[in-house]
Structure 1
Amino acid sequence: MPIVAFWLSLSATILLVVGFSLCLLLDKRRSLWVDRRFPGTGRTTPLYGDYRPLEHRMYTNQRLYHAFKARRWPIGGAVLYLTPCVIPIDREVIEYVLSKELIKIPTIRWNRELIQSWREFEDVHYEAMLGLIGQESETIATSVSSSDEGQCVKAIIEQFTMRILIKSVFGSNCVQQLETVKELLLESRNSLLKKIIVTAFPGSANVQQLLNAFMPNRKSKWMQQLKEMCKHAPNDREASFLAYLKQKRSMEDLIGIVAPDDTQHSLLQLMRTIFYTTSGTIVACLYELACHHDIQDRLHAALKNSDHSMTDYLDNVITETLRKYPPQDEISFTTLMSCRLPECDLVIPRNTRVIIPTYALLRDADYYPDPMRFDPERSIDTSSQFYRPLGGDSVNLGSTFAMMMVRVALTKLLLHWQVDVSASTPAELDAYPESDLPYPRGKVELVIRRYGSSIDCL
């Protein structure tokens, strides 16, 4: 009995010490910027910080950005869950933190060999991929029937994107697995607990392994699905990414190629980025065109009179869509060491999350007058540091392929379709709060009519 009492007392003491230490840590984190006399939000809530669990992070970033800007601060401090973060406001500060002078730890760690292979695959099979996109675009443009009832364009575009993605990555033999892979991509919204942990330890392989051990459901399903895909070994003559990897590495065992954890994670991240960028941009563009018939009619006329999809007005429409609905709502990284900002006495501490609020910048009236108005005639400098809707260099992998799909698909669809709002069309496109990337929530229903059909718009 004395031994049992001893161990019970020791366990209770350890729990009390750990709990007290955790409370001290949380209290220190939520008052970090006050203690440092750094311009910020002040003392925050213990668990969420300045961020809300039922609000997508881009809306919180936008709210903080405007609050800091109203106070004329060059930069503002906040707390992202348990992690100290800063949001640059001043142009010079933004340019500085994006420059190579600031040593950064990226928030996403990629398997470099896999990503390099994908870039090579895009170059080698560019014509084949373009042909596949054109074929699938023509199929979906001609197969959807005209109707005065609203149809969910989001579901239609998701199906189109997944068919191309499955064929390009795994091969045409795996198209029957489309719905399963689509569910895995859509299922990859992280829980709040996982977001808090991943944010607190950015890019940590050890933390990722622990999360996979304690939350293995998604990873195990993804690995199981990869094995199933690899059983249908792609034809070496087919323009698929797995066939390219197999040929490049001279390996017969495809399962061995995708077995490493970082390879699986990078492949999943690549597919998610392409899927959300393509589907989200096309859906947002069709939504805006349905709300602005004058722009839609002008674009249809421009495409009809052009021999190819690369018309200036189409580029303008896509550029404006990306401005208003950026697929990457922020560029973020963690500082490796403390750094003093130019022309001010403020110091960003090491291990601080730096968030460039892309969504807020692209909707800032000082840079884009009347930002909520959809205006393809708007003058936009696409080479500017303040126009990065596809993210920074480390996160916009796959964007070339995604933008190719967007251009070709919009060309084919808008040559055949005339879209209009319905009674069920949402008043605005809202994002899922739990989604890492901004993506329209719920159904997006539009009326689809064919040009020249008997129920064509008047």
Structure 2
Amino acid sequence: MLAIVALLLHPFLLIGLVLGSLYFYLTATFDFWKCRGVPYKKPTVLVGNFGPLLLFRQSLPEGVKEMYQWFKDERFFGVFRVRSPALILRDPDLVKSICIKDFSCFPYRGIPINNEDPLNEHLFHLEGRKWKSLRSKLTPAFSSGKLKRMFYLLVECCEELQKLISASCAADRTVEVRELATKFTIDVIGSCAFGIQINALTNEESEFHKAAKKLSRPSYKATLWRMLRTAMPRLYKLLGVQVIDPSVTHFFKDVVSQVISQRESNGVRRHDFMDLLLDLKNKGAVENETGSAQICSDEDAQAAKEIELDENAIAAQAFVFFAAGYETSSNTIAFCLYELALNQEIQEKTRREIRNAIKPLGGKLTYDTVQEMKYLDMVILETLRKYPSAPLLSRKCAFKYQIPNSKVELPAGMRVIIPIYGFHHDPNYYPNPAKFDPERFTEENKRTRHPNTYLPFGEGPRNCIGMRFALLQIKIGIISFLKDHQVEICDKSIVPIKFSRRSLVTTSEKGFWLAITPVS
């Protein structure tokens, strides 16, 4: 009888053993911060402190802001991503230490990649000497001189956007401005990065437009893995998860292969990003404005030998230029127009500056004229303050690190999270943070704030290499809308904005519907 009972209980004992082992594994790290005397939020099994985000109950900006407020009197505090401990910073001086002063200890983003996907080998993901080598090679490609030579490509796209805005007004004054902005940024980046006239503004069935939709609207599964891969890197690599749709990978590789073949066989130069990548491939360096090879320091020259740009590497850089640039810029344009629709006095002041700047030139845009629009600069900076594209950024310890002015030592491999959205909405740095106020970014007001409380493009050596291009693209997009048109809130406008819970960038859940009318 006892033998029969033992046999019946055997499966339950096995299940209990498995569940017990799993529970122990998932909770074994939960005393990590307690042992080090670091304040922390009690985690939950399976999700740690990120449950609302992992279950898509909360948007990333909202989640970051909530976490930032957990320990208002602390310089830093601990959290858990599933079972992995991470440190969240609240002190801008610590941000400066991590990103700039002690960068040698935090050179990594720590995003695991699967080598099976060639498009993962781009500047954003690379680490170590490969990253340093590629960064040193690509930095000259984003100089003001290079952007100035590309400017005519942006003007061509601007003219097409203005035509479409006028046509949209004639058909229906209610417009989803993010959709128009997305088509514009796809055309700009397609032209500047790939040397292709995509015509996304007039052709919604273009392959680039289809690829963009797949990138900006990933499945819930892909989005979940993007959030989990830094918390569970071994499982991510073991399962060979691909967060980029394979069809998108094949598309970009084919496009780049065709462009390279055409450029090298025809000897055509457009002064675009693809020309610069081909210079790196064939000459090993980007030419400066005088036509000679860019002069690098001995350290950069040594680093540059660590990586060679083959066709796959070129495809990866062109891909990240597209993926990182079109959606973030189009969202910023849309958020800016949304705020200007709510703040008509600011909109009118911005339009007046635009018109006054281009009037002496017969209404034409030049690179220097756009750069001189200082109030437009302030409007965009405030948009990026209130709606930073990346709600957070993170760095990973390369070796043990003692947090300045504390007894806490972080082990190698520890992830440090910088809550950008939290800093940008902290009333200690930005009084009445919900208010849209470009005057925060006068030169005088900027000097009163800690510089590391404003981080829309990151900070330090791993900041956004394409920042100047992104700002230029955003300016041209906003000028296209405001020069001859007024944007206003309409019945379909959602006020206040509801953030998407599925996106890892700051964007609206339901779009940006505004009324657009011509102005004389």
TM-score normalised by L of structure 2:
0.74
- Find the residue that maps to 1:377 and give its secondary structure: helix
1:363 aligned onto 2:425: yes
- The match for 1:78 is 79
> Which runs of 5 or more residues in structure 2 are unaligned?
1-11, 111-123, 200-205, 284-308, 359-368
The residue type equivalent to 1:403 in the other structure is L
In the TM superposition, residue 225 of structure 1 has moved relative to its aligned partner by: 3.6
1:223 aligned onto 2:261: no
1:30–1:45 contact (8 Å) kept in structure 2: no
Matching of residues 253-272 of structure 1 within 5 Å: 257-259=310-312, 264-272=315-323
Identify which of 450, 453, 475 aligns with 1:386.
Answer: 453
- The match for 2:158 is 137
Matching of residues 219-368 of structure 1 within 5 Å: 219-232=246-259, 233-235=261-263, 236-250=268-282, 257-259=310-312, 264-307=315-358, 308-309=369-370, 310-368=372-430
- The match for 2:116 is none
Taking the aligned partners of 2:92 and 2:165, their CA distance within structure 1 comes to 46
Taking the aligned partners of 2:457 and 2:470, their CA distance within structure 1 comes to 10
1:34–1:42 contact (8 Å) kept in structure 2: no
1:120 aligned onto 2:140: yes
In the TM superposition, residue 383 of structure 1 has moved relative to its aligned partner by: 7.7
CA deviations over 1:125-145 (Å, ceiling 9, x no partner):
423321111221132123323
- Provide the alpha-carbon RMSD of the alignment: 3.1
Taking the aligned partners of 2:92 and 2:235, their CA distance within structure 1 comes to 35
Matching of residues 439-450 of structure 1 within 5 Å: 439-450=507-518
- Find the residue that maps to 1:165 and give its secondary structure: helix
- The match for 1:157 is 181
1:277–1:399 contact (8 Å) kept in structure 2: no
Taking the aligned partners of 2:432 and 2:198, their CA distance within structure 1 comes to 46
- Find the residue that maps to 1:151 and give its secondary structure: strand
Taking the aligned partners of 2:92 and 2:135, their CA distance within structure 1 comes to 32
The 1:90–1:117 alpha-carbon spacing in structure 2 relative to 1, beyond 3 Å, is closer
- The match for 2:304 is none
Taking the aligned partners of 1:284 and 1:429, their CA distance within structure 2 comes to 9
2:193–2:318 contact (8 Å) kept in structure 1: no
- The match for 1:95 is 96
Taking the aligned partners of 1:242 and 1:266, their CA distance within structure 2 comes to 10
Question: Identity over the aligned pairs, expressed in percent?
Answer: 22
Taking the aligned partners of 1:362 and 1:301, their CA distance within structure 2 comes to 28
2:190–2:197 contact (8 Å) kept in structure 1: no
The 1:335–1:156 alpha-carbon spacing in structure 2 relative to 1, beyond 3 Å, is same
In the TM superposition, residue 64 of structure 1 has moved relative to its aligned partner by: 1.5
Identify which of 181, 184, 189 aligns with 2:211.
Answer: 181
CA deviations over 1:86-138 (Å, ceiling 9, x no partner):
11223443333334336113235236465555433334642332111122113
- The match for 1:23 is 23
Question: How many equivalent pairs are there?
Answer: 430
- Find the residue that maps to 2:208 and give its secondary structure: helix
Taking the aligned partners of 1:93 and 1:245, their CA distance within structure 2 comes to 36
The residue type equivalent to 1:109 in the other structure is H
> Which runs of 5 or more residues in structure 1 are unaligned?
1-11, 453-458
- Find the residue that maps to 1:306 and give its secondary structure: helix
The residue type equivalent to 1:300 in the other structure is R
CA deviations over 1:255-291 (Å, ceiling 9, x no partner):
x93335xx65554333222113311111111000000
In the TM superposition, residue 152 of structure 1 has moved relative to its aligned partner by: 0.5
TM-score normalised by L of structure 1:
0.83
